[in-house]
Amino acid sequence: MSTMMTVSSLNTKIKSLLEATFMHILVEGEVASVTYHTSGHLYFSIKDKESSIKCVMWRSAVSKLKFHLEKGMHIVIEGSVGVYTPRGEYQFYAVHVEPYGKGALALAYEQLKEKLKAKGYFDAQLKKAIPKYIKKIALVTAKESAALHDMLKIIEKRWPLVEVIIVDTLVQGEQAASQIAKGLKYADSLGADVIVTGRGGGSAEDLWPFNEEAVADAIFSLQTPVVSAVGHEVDVMISDFVADLRAPTPSAAMEMILPDRQEVLYALEEYAERLEYTVEQKLHHLQQEVKHAEEILLRASPSRRLQEIKVKFQYLEKEFKRLVQYKIERFSVQLPEIQKSFVQNIHFVLQQKEQHIEYVSQKIKMSDPKLQCRKGWAQISQNNVPVDLDMLEVNERFTLEDASHKVEALCLQVLKYKKDTI
């Protein structure tokens, strides 16, 4: 005879049976649906070609999940089967999830890489330039790590003049990502020329903090250029893509960003030689300019001008004396002939003048009024103006004048003679 039981009793027995039978098992399937609840819990379902099962993952386990669960993803879940007694429903309680055929870290890496790339975190145009000569450097890493020791050793060897600030932080473990992000933001406030963050080699789990989104966000937000130097050359972290410069190792980072003091000394020596040569050339050029200016000044100075005039005057004086002497010598030879010609000319001129004097004397004698007036003749004039006799009228006064007398007369009668007909 069958034993009768309540619904609750049946569900309880089924719960006990299933949970005792299906403990710590692995189930493979495709994600059919997924919901990230605000409480932090994860609700999803997986399926194959014939059936599906509901799954739940509590918040504590979700926080350890490295990748983001998405619909259509092929996964393997680890956990146990449980029954929700009030509704008589069973579901799978997952404690761990892995991508099928691929590690969780590898999937998480690819997912975050694609996400950050889409946000522009890897854009080469946004990369900040590393200064050529660094005065202050901030190292965000573990204080007691071998990586820090190696970096300090390279600094001492290459460029000991740089000021080093060490920002101690965890570089592995669950709390490392948040500490690294915090350390980076603190280093950004120190006024350093560049920030280097990283650590030495290790497993993928050890290096994982540098693949966390929190670290990527911190690097992208900094104003100071950042160098990512994590692990060995084969290790490529998310921080390498976001940083302004990726170095294969911490030691290599120092060699990449710090100048070699020996090379700088050689360069300075070469610059010093170039400077000395340039200064010598400049001084020589300036000396030539000064010399030229002095020559111009001397030529333009009053004393120089007076000296030039004096020299020119002395030259002209000498030339004048030479020319006068030459003329004297030349004329001394010609003087007798000139004297003879001069005497002849004088005699000729005197003869001409004598003839001219004789001519003038005769003319004067001929013009003398006394000589011109014949006896019995006188000059007739009225008001001191000579007039002809036929111009006189009766009762007109007139003057008669010869060389020795002057008579005032009155015309009493005018008689006119007839001209003889020829």
pLDDT attached to residue 104 = 72
What is the rounded distance in angstroms from the CA atom of residue 398 to the CA atom of residue 381?
A: 6
Q: What is the DSSP string of 290-306?
A: HHHHHHHHHHHSHHHHH
pLDDT attached to residue 369 = 59
Tokens of 408: 């005032």
CATH architecture of 131-259: 3-Layer(aba) Sandwich (3.40)
Compute the residue count for the chain: 422
- Which residues neighbour 90 within 8 Å (Cβ) at sequence distance 6 or greater? 14, 15, 18, 81, 82, 83, 84
For the chain, domain boundaries: 7-102, 131-259, 379-410
Q: Which fold has domain 7-102?
A: OB fold (Dihydrolipoamide Acetyltransferase, E2P) (2.40.50)
Model confidence, pTM: 0.53
Task: Report which DSSP code applies to 72.
Answer: T
Neighbours of 64 (CB within 10 A): 12
> Would you say the CATH fold of 131-259 matches that of 7-102?
no
What is the rounded distance in angstroms from the CA atom of residue 278 to the CA atom of residue 399?
A: 118
- Specify the DSSP element, H or E, that contains 370: helix 369-372
Work out the average pLDDT over 211-219: 94
Work out the average pLDDT over 347-359: 87
pLDDT in tens, 287-341: 999 988 888 877 777 777 788 788 888 888 888 888 888 888 777 777 777 778 8
Q: Are 257 and 243 in contact (CB under 8 A)?
A: no
Work out the average pLDDT over 252-268: 90
Confidence band for 157, pLDDT divided at 50, 70 and 90: very high
pLDDT attached to residue 422 = 43
Q: Residue 135 above 60 pLDDT?
A: yes
